[in-house]
């Protein structure tokens, strides 16, 4: 395999990588998008629930090719299984579609290809190439053969287990409390309500939640996230999930047709996502929302900015850490505040007892929430259970 050259090298063809590749190509750069697997979009460990409001901003048109269900809202279940229904008007930002990542990821990669990006499958990065302290490309492997790819701009979009950021010198390691170990079964033959995404809170999923995301025709994603700092032995994600399913007949009757798992970062925003010749985007840059575990929207929003800045850097001949501050300012301007706020909320929620969760959900039952914000929720809780809100005083 001969060595290659390009302008913008994107490592990883998930949503963030494809979005970066598309917008870099649209802005005139020669782009090469790599994917270590032989297929894009599968298998993908993902609950497959996304909100809708951001899609148009990054140029994604909703399509029946990858939408399974358009949900009306969310149901939050307290540990005592009292349910809080939040319909779309209030939760619009957080629920929307349950999608098929297989089709979604492929559609985004096709968009990138149509914009002019080249793609290479079954090609993994094995290291970075540095010259005078600057990243000038990667060492790669394809079907067992080693070769090099050089580019003025290299972008790490290689997901949760990203190695390329660390090779480039950007610290992305996580504290135990900033990570959830997650497992999900796609199950057939379950009884669920296709109008809602369901979230079960409390000790059934310490430092995380059980989710049911319906996919129509008796199919649903049934998954769990458990905070690593609360795990004592091994395989606890599976134990907690299997336990929960066994206690819920609507799902105990389900048949597993798919198993995916992985780590999800629930971390505060990284201090740094760029260095000379290199930028990090998506899950690799720890952009997953610490409260919801959702990473697609943030990865795509940041990906568009990353692609645009990458193309500019190529054009101007300035692929430097300093120039890439435009990307830092861009993505932080859009999502950093929410990420940080949600991290604070997650830190609090991960320590709540089942009793407190029950009170919070109970307090919200009687209230017409104008808008589902942390602030409004806490206001409502304060009216009924003032002692609980003492714990959240910092937020009010």
Partner 1 sequence: MVNKKLLHIESSGQLCIYCGACVGVCPLNCIYLDETRITFDEKICTRCDICVKACPVGAIEIG
Give the CA-trace dihedral at 333, 339, 341, 342, to 10 degrees.
150
**Does residue 163 touch partner 1 according to CB under 8 A?**
yes
Q: Which of 80, 114, 126, 353 binds partner 1 (CB under 8 A)?
A: 126
Q: Which of 4, 110, 120, 124 binds partner 1 (CB under 8 A)?
A: 124
**Does residue 370 touch partner 1 according to CB under 8 A?**
no
Residue 381 CA from chain centroid, whole number: 29
**Does residue 173 touch partner 1 according to CB under 8 A?**
yes
Binding mask 179-198 for partner 1 (x = CB under 8 A): x-xxx---------------
State the minimum distance, in angstroms, from the CB of residue 14 to partner 1. Answer: 12
Stretch that binds partner 1, among 1-9, 169-177, 361-369, 386-394 (CB under 8 A): 169-177
Cβ proximity to partner 1: between 230 and 358 the closer is: 230
Cβ proximity to partner 1: between 14 and 330 the closer is: 14
Q: Which of 96, 159, 206, 214 binds partner 1 (CB under 8 A)?
A: 159
State the minimum distance, in angstroms, from the CB of residue 361 to partner 1. Answer: 27
Q: Which of 162, 273, 275, 292 binds partner 1 (CB under 8 A)?
A: 162
Q: Which of 89, 122, 371, 375 binds partner 1 (CB under 8 A)?
A: 122
**Does residue 75 touch partner 1 according to CB under 8 A?**
no
Give the binding site for partner 1 (CB under 8 A). 36-38, 45, 122, 124, 126, 141, 159-163, 166, 173-174, 176, 179, 181-183, 228, 231-238, 259-263, 265
């Amino acid at each position: 395999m001969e060595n290659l050259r390009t302008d913008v090298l994107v490592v990883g063809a998930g949503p963030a990588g494809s979005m970066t590749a598309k917008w870099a190509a649209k802005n005139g750069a020669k782009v090469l998008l790599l994917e270590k697997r032989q297929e894009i979009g599968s298998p993908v460990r993902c609950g497959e629930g996304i909100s809708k409001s951001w899609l148009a901003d990054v140029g994604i048109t909703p399509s029946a090719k990858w939408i399974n269900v358009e949900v009306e809202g969310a149901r939050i279940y307290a540990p005592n299984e009292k349910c809080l229904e939040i319909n779309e008007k209030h939760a619009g930002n957080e629920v929307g579609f349950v999608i098929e990542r297989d089709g979604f990821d492929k559609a985004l990669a096709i968009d990138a290809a149509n914009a002019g990006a080249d793609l290479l499958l079954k090609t993994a990065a094995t290291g970075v190439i540095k010259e005078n302290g600057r990243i000038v490309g990667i060492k790669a492997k394809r079907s067992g053969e080693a070769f090099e790819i050089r580019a003025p701009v290299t972008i790490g979009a290689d997901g949760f287990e990203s190695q390329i950021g660390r090779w480039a010198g950007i610290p992305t390691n996580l504290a135990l409390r900033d990570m959830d170990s997650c497992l999900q079964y796609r199950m057939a033959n379950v009884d669920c309500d296709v109008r809602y995404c369901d979230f079960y809170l409390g000790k059934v999923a310490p430092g995380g939640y059980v989710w049911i995301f319906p996919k129509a025709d008796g199919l649903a994603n049934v998954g769990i996230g458990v905070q690593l700092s609360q795990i004592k032995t091994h395989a606890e994600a599976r134990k907690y999930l299997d336990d929960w399913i066994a206690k819920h007949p609507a799902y105990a009757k389900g048949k597993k047709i798919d198993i995916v798992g992985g780590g999800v970062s629930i971390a505060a925003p990284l201090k740094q996502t760029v260095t000379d010749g290199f930028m990090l985007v998506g899950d690799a840059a720890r952009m997953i929302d610490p409260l919801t575990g959702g990473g697609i929207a943030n990865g795509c929003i940041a990906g568009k900015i990353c692609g645009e800045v990458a193309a500019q850097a190529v054009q101007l001949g300035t692929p430097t850490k300093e120039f890439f501050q435009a990307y830092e300012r861009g993505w932080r301007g859009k999502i950093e505040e929410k990420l940080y706020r949600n991290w604070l909320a997650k830190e609090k929620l991960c320590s709540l007892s089942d009793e407190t969760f029950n009170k919070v959900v109970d307090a919200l039952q009687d209230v017409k929430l104008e808008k589902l914000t942390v602030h409004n929720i806490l206001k409502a809780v304060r009216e009924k259970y003032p002692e609980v809100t003492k714990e959240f005083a910092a937020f009010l």
